[in-house]
Structure 1
Amino acid sequence: MSALNTRKWGVLLVLSGAIFLEGIDVAMLNVALPAIRSDLGLATGELQWVMSAYVLGYGGFMLLGGRAADLFGRRRMFLFWLTVFLLFSGLGGFASEGWMLITARFVTGVAAAFMTPAGLSIITTTYEEGPERDKALLIYSGTGAGGFTVGLVAGGLLASVDWRWVFFAPVILSLVLLVAALAWVPKPQAAEPRTARRVDAAGALAVTAALILIVLGVERASHTTALWTVGTLGAGLLALGAFIAVERRTADPLVRLGIFRNAALVRANIGALLFAAGFFAFQFIVVLYLQELRGWSTVEASLALLVAGLDAVLSPTLTPRLVARFGNARVIFGGLLTAALAYGLFLRVEADWTYAAMFPSLLLVGLAFALAYGPLTIVGTEGIAEEEQGLAGGLLYTSFQFGAALGLSAATAVNVAATASASPGALLDGYRAALLVPLVAALVAAFVTAFGLRGGRRQPVVTGGVTGAEAPERVAAPTAG
């Protein structure tokens, strides 16, 4: 990484800033919801849609966004959707009605769904596969995680002044990034042939419908009837089946199904889904415990979680050394076991716990994120041909997003079921029961990842049926993933 030229450092700075932006945007809104409800007079159901709209836009359009980067140009997609993100974040800050804010959040989520995989694929095609790219991805992922942690604190501080600054602050950062991206992110050296720009419209429609319905069904599971949930998920699965049928027949698929022959990519996506499910469920439960049971303020709860931001420091410093010595799969496995330990320790939570009693779990969560998140990003994009890097990034971030929705919904459902009684200890019992969700998710993820521990052999790039034997110059670096 020391050999990187100025332009490569500039590209990394811009793209790390973009993933930092996405992280703080989500985190700041999470802690600002009570202030938004109070000012706009939103009912609980309407307030829920302020978050749900973003999740639907992000999760539903991520695969399409990843493929669009491959088809229409990564730089073009990144710049355009960063501009959309900037505009609609600002519009959210001016909202005077709930529907205005919900609409703005949906479009902001769609913008992030196109911007994020485009940014990731710029990194994976700018830096040479191996130590250079691994280091860049670890800095990138660590910055994104740091953005989420910083956002928790910044959101509490800004919301205490005026919740609208939670939307205006990202506008300022977006504008700085847009100017920097125009200067630093290089234009493609050669235009793609027009034949490469055909869009699988039927596949795009089917998969977007499937993802939106599945994310909607999971996200709303704890807020509606079982019949509605089953119907929504069933419709999503039917749309997914239609998508697979379309992809098998079309000459230019949105998602080349052969990409799933890469076992490391499949494990990385399953691991990403379960890791995100556990991480977001745990954070949600801790925030409820601190604010509902303990009566801590938004700012106090945010500061309590700040220690989990340790990953922003460890990801670019400690994790690369561990990856170099043990390989990605072993580091991911260690991170998932660390997460399981963190969640297990918090199962002992009491109504009068001191911060010192909580601290080990919060510290371990930060360490687990540093160990797992970056290497999962590496494995999820490693050994994939350059023309499918956007697709690989879209798949990976779809897994993260869907996992977050799944974990939050599952934890909420368990918490609600466990607190059905009116006993004095019902709240605490609910938190303990809900903590089993992240614990189980981390253990299952570790089990799946264990299949990649055999490690060591080199994997050829798979692209449209072309393997390393036919394209020796694209053989991936050694990986345990």
Structure 2
Amino acid sequence: MAIDSPPRITPDAPAPGMSARDKLILLVLCAAQFIVALDFSILNVALPVLGDDLGMGQADLQWAVTAFALPSGGFLLLSGRIADLYGRRRVFLLGLALFTAASVLATLAWSPAVFLAGRALQGLGAAVVVPTGMSLLTTTFAEGPQRERALGISGTLLSLGFTIGMVLGGVMTDTLGWRSTMGLLAAAGLAVLALAPGLLAESRPAERPRIDVPGAVTVTGGLLALIYGLSTAAQRGFGGVDVLVALALGAVLLAAFVAVESRAAEPLVSLPMLRRPTVAWGNLAGLVTFAMMSTVVFLLTLYLQEVLELSAFRSGLVFGVQGLFAVAAGLTASKVIARFGARATLLGGLAVQAVFTAALLALGRDGSGAWLALAAASIACVGHLWAIVAYGVTATSGLPDGEQGLATGLVTSSQQIGLTVGIPLLSAVASARTADLAGGGADFASATLGGIRLGLGVDALVVVVVAAAVAAGLRKRRAA
């Protein structure tokens, strides 16, 4: 009988230690994840300066983000299967090399077209690095305390990378120019590439699978259309014809993907695996915790800089404190799981995230709002990190190595899709509310604050609803 959640271990049964080589392997794999997470956010505050330098109009700046988001979210599942077919180490190194070369191209870009090409290639490299890196992690570290510790560190750095990217983007753009943000990614990629070949061992299933071409086409096309629709809606609202067509096409293709997978001999996504409550509910929780916490960071950036008019440096201090809380939470997550179990940790983490996101509804226009943002977001981030580690443990436990590529492909898809769709979706909600208030005569700061509050309220509500659904789904499994 498969194990659906990791066994509890008592405090007097310490997790087996990692060797020096294991620690170096973990460092390399986590560093690669961290670099990709940085890339999701490091350009956010640099976009106006970048646009002026390259001659990109305001309406075109969204493509600096969308060009990365489309391939990074769209090709995740296909990349995981290709890694199972040709070897996870080999594909990981190729993806990292592509990401690094693309970062160099984006750094040196002399025109908008060249820059956007670099961003798209970065996204494609990220779509390869993330699932292969996670597969290497879960096959290197045995299920149980050792894997929980590895997932805790990985999840911490992934979330921390997104937060630090917001800080570094502002500081580096102000001091060194926007090109330094892309140059940092290139340098970090080169450093990981120098270490990885000598540390990572090749890993693939005992039997080489075939690529499910119809499944690959439908899921990749569906994700690309969905991400394009949401990203464009964040800029122009949901009323545009291209937005509606993209969202409808995405829904149709993803529905077709489910139908294709139910008949495929070697499916890209195992539907029987998705019928496992731990896999299905764990991944839903992971998608939502990433989507909603990344949105909190984005909306708080708007609040600090556009409502309170704080500098990039002072805003960065707020997220710096949040980063410290994230590190502490990630390092303690495996102990919390050992004490209370993965299910309780997952639900508790989601509850903490929801409660302290809701606390941000009290944000105002006076200086005390910065302290509330610092305290509430930092504590919400603790719950977020516990949920990240617990969902990774839940969704990959009890599966043989031959299915780890598929399982970790789902886990990393949840992460990347969450990071990709959360901000544009709730940004569109906040922007619509801001426009309504501004049309009613409110000043810029008040209208912006009203939109931010609505976005945060919807954010907290989504986490509560999903936490309740996950609790019910996992409770039924335990009863069975």
Compute the TM-score of the two structures, normalised by the length of structure 1: 0.90
List per-residue Cα deviations over 1:92-128 (Å, max 9, x = no partner).
0011211211111111111111111101011111111
Name 1:450's counterpart in structure 2: 471
Task: Work out whether 1:409 is the aligned partner of 2:424.
Answer: yes
Task: Work out whether 1:441 is the aligned partner of 2:462.
Answer: yes
Task: Summarize the alignment of residues 74-473 of structure 1 with structure 2, pairs less than 5 Å apart.
Answer: 74-160=88-174, 161-188=176-203, 196-224=208-236, 225-354=239-368, 355-419=370-434, 420=436, 421=439, 422-424=441-443, 425-451=446-472, 454=475
- Does the 8 Å contact 2:347/2:471 carry over to 1? yes
Displacement after TM superposition at 1:40 (Å): 1.6
Compute the TM-score of the two structures, normalised by the length of structure 2: 0.90
C-alpha spacing 1:442/1:344, structure 2 compared with 1 (3 Å): same
C-alpha spacing 1:301/1:366, structure 2 compared with 1 (3 Å): same
- Does the 8 Å contact 1:70/1:388 carry over to 2? no
Structure 2: 5+ residue runs without aligned partners?
A: 1-14
Name the CA distance, whole Å, in 2 between partners of 1:415 and 1:150. 23
Displacement after TM superposition at 1:456 (Å): 9.9
Partner SS for 1:186: coil
Name the CA distance, whole Å, in 2 between partners of 1:298 and 1:39. 20
Partner SS for 2:381: helix
C-alpha spacing 1:214/1:191, structure 2 compared with 1 (3 Å): closer
Task: Work out whether 1:32 is the aligned partner of 2:49.
Answer: no
Which of the two has greater helix per residue? 2
- Does the 8 Å contact 1:117/1:394 carry over to 2? yes
Name the CA distance, whole Å, in 2 between partners of 1:327 and 1:452. 16
Name the CA distance, whole Å, in 1 between partners of 2:478 and 2:254. 34
List per-residue Cα deviations over 1:32-69 (Å, max 9, x = no partner).
22221221222122110100111111110011111122
Partner SS for 2:75: helix
Structure 1: 5+ residue runs without aligned partners?
A: 460-481
Displacement after TM superposition at 1:384 (Å): 2.2
Partner SS for 2:156: helix
Name the CA distance, whole Å, in 2 between partners of 1:344 and 1:280. 15
C-alpha spacing 1:226/1:46, structure 2 compared with 1 (3 Å): closer
AA in 2 matched with 1:258: P
Coordinate RMSD, CA, aligned: 2.1
Displacement after TM superposition at 1:251 (Å): 1.9
Select which of 4, 17, 20 maps to 2:34.
20
Please identify, of 296-305 and 82-91, the stretch whose mean Cα deviation from structure 2 is larger.
Answer: 296-305
- Does the 8 Å contact 1:83/1:178 carry over to 2? yes
Displacement after TM superposition at 1:415 (Å): 1.7
- Does the 8 Å contact 1:329/1:452 carry over to 2? no
Displacement after TM superposition at 1:402 (Å): 2.5
- Does the 8 Å contact 2:163/2:297 carry over to 1? no
AA in 2 matched with 1:278: M
C-alpha spacing 1:409/1:264, structure 2 compared with 1 (3 Å): same
Displacement after TM superposition at 1:294 (Å): 1.8
Displacement after TM superposition at 1:26 (Å): 2.1
Task: Summarize the alignment of residues 59-70 of structure 1 with structure 2, pairs less than 5 Å apart.
Answer: 59-70=73-84
AA in 2 matched with 1:72: Y
- Does the 8 Å contact 2:325/2:378 carry over to 1? no
Name the CA distance, whole Å, in 2 between partners of 1:218 and 1:108. 20
